Amino acid sequence: MAIINDHFLKLQAGYLFPEINRRVNAFIQAHPEAAPRLIRCGIGDVTEPLPQAAIEAMHEAVDDLATHERFHGYGPEQGYFWLREAIAKKAYQVHGIHVEVDEIFVSDGAKCDTGNILDIFGRGNRIAVPDPVYPVYVDTNVMAGNTGEAREDGSYEGLVYLPCTPENNFVPDLPQEHVDLIYLCFPNNPTGAVASRMELLKWVEYARANHAIILYDSAYEAFIQDPDVPRSIFEIPGARDCAIEFRSFSKQGGFTGVRCGYVVIPKELNGHDADGNKVPISRLWSRRTSTKFNGASYIVQRGAAALFTLEGMAQTDVLISHYLGNAALLLNACRQAGMRVWGGENAPYVWAACPDGLDSWGLFDKMLTEANVVITPGSGFGSKGEGFFRISAFNSRENVEEVCRRIHALFAQ
């Protein structure tokens, strides 16, 4: 008899995106004439073609594999030196942030990394997650057995939820209790919030005082426009011995279908064994990576490295500006319609309070049936997301302009 990991049975069945699809499909079945009008601003996937520099580099990489001289088989599990060096220099050192080549671990994406990192942590850690939250942090902890059962509102026993609300500008306050692992994500998905240097400093000081580790997801770093907003947790003094950073080329370079990301683990970062002895986290992650991963593909890593060339950076800027231009239009349209809005300035997401006393799914249904626009209900990201919704700026300009007109028609009096 094969016994399963029964922690999986605690996972909530009605996961957000399947439920969105179910409602959209039911609506289209009932109103087939509305199908061509439907605009999806729901799932956070990019829409625009890849930067040309990445395309050319990947074509060349394919040609390399066609020759004996430039053939590449298995590469280093931690990633090719030339990509790790480009990341260290262009993503960190030019900004004055201390990150070294051998502290970077290239992967096939940040979703996998933020889930897989739990492999190297033991049982019994107190784990803090923001609410609302990127669901991956929660579900991977459920699978790993770090939680109890689900409650009525979809939250889990055993996790420490950090409320993110208009009162704290969606940057969580320090917990009253001790925690060991803390997930933070800035610029945030789903709220689009960013944290200031002072706010991150408070978290770093808390983590150091509690021997806790911050798991810092900065998948949306490329969207930061404001020079005062920290781009990395490692800009914060003291972060090198209490934080891991996750980054991705998915949103920066449109690589959601190409798959490449990386983890940064400073050499000074330690966890503790059961006897309280320090153990370097990077040693464990390196061992895990060598055992369970055979590296991101050569072709993909060539494409990622090309994003750091002069042309690649210029093309990436164009891509980011396109999405941020969309975000600005959506932010303005919601504001004009009388809604309270957040995000959308250093992030590709606009977060809005549902108008007219609607709850998140009520607003979702209204937008779907009356405006034929798909948004993401805030309650799908956690109980503190109830009463809010997320609009994604990942779309064509044409679609965004049409969505803005429909929001105006639906809500502006």
Ligand X SMILES: *Cc1c(COP(=O)(O)O)cnc(C)c1O
Residues that bind ligand X (CB under 6 A): 44, 109-111, 134, 185, 189, 217, 219, 248, 250-251, 256, 261
The minimum distance between CB 349 and ligand X, in angstroms, equals 9
Nearer Cβ to ligand X (199/221): 221
Cis peptide upstream of residue 230 (ω within 30 degrees of 0) = no
CA 72 to each of CA 67, 68, 80, 162, 297: distance values in angstroms, whole numbers, following the listed order: 9, 9, 11, 46, 10
The minimum distance between CB 152 and ligand X, in angstroms, equals 26
| Residue sitting closest to ligand X (CB) | 109
Nearer Cβ to ligand X (110/350): 110
The minimum distance between CB 251 and ligand X, in angstroms, equals 6
The minimum distance between CB 45 and ligand X, in angstroms, equals 8
Closest CA to 361 of 337, 341, 381, 333: 381
The minimum distance between CB 137 and ligand X, in angstroms, equals 8
209, 175 Cβ separation under 8 angstroms: no
CB atoms inside a 10 Å sphere around CB 239:
27
The minimum distance between CB 382 and ligand X, in angstroms, equals 13
| CA atoms of 341 and 378, how far apart (whole Å) | 13
| CA atoms of 164 and 193, how far apart (whole Å) | 10
The minimum distance between CB 267 and ligand X, in angstroms, equals 24
The minimum distance between CB 130 and ligand X, in angstroms, equals 10
SS3 124: coil
| CA atoms of 393 and 346, how far apart (whole Å) | 12
Nearer Cβ to ligand X (360/376): 376
Nearer Cβ to ligand X (44/79): 44
Q: What are phi and psi of 296, to 5 degrees?
A: -70, 155
233: tokens are: 């947790």
User: CB pairs under 8 A, 24+ apart, for 168-176?
Assistant: 169/193, 169/342, 170/342, 170/343, 170/351, 171/195, 171/196, 171/199, 172/130, 174/202, 174/203, 174/206, 175/128
Number of helices followed by number of strands (H, E) in the chain: 12, 15
SS3 181: strand
Nearer Cβ to ligand X (137/298): 137
The minimum distance between CB 344 and ligand X, in angstroms, equals 15
Nearer Cβ to ligand X (134/170): 134
| CA atoms of 267 and 287, how far apart (whole Å) | 14
Tell me the residue type at 401: E
Pairing of strands 39-40, 270-272: unpaired
Nearer Cβ to ligand X (134/203): 134
Nearer Cβ to ligand X (129/404): 129
Q: What are phi and psi of 278, to 5 degrees?
A: -75, 140
Nearer Cβ to ligand X (206/216): 216
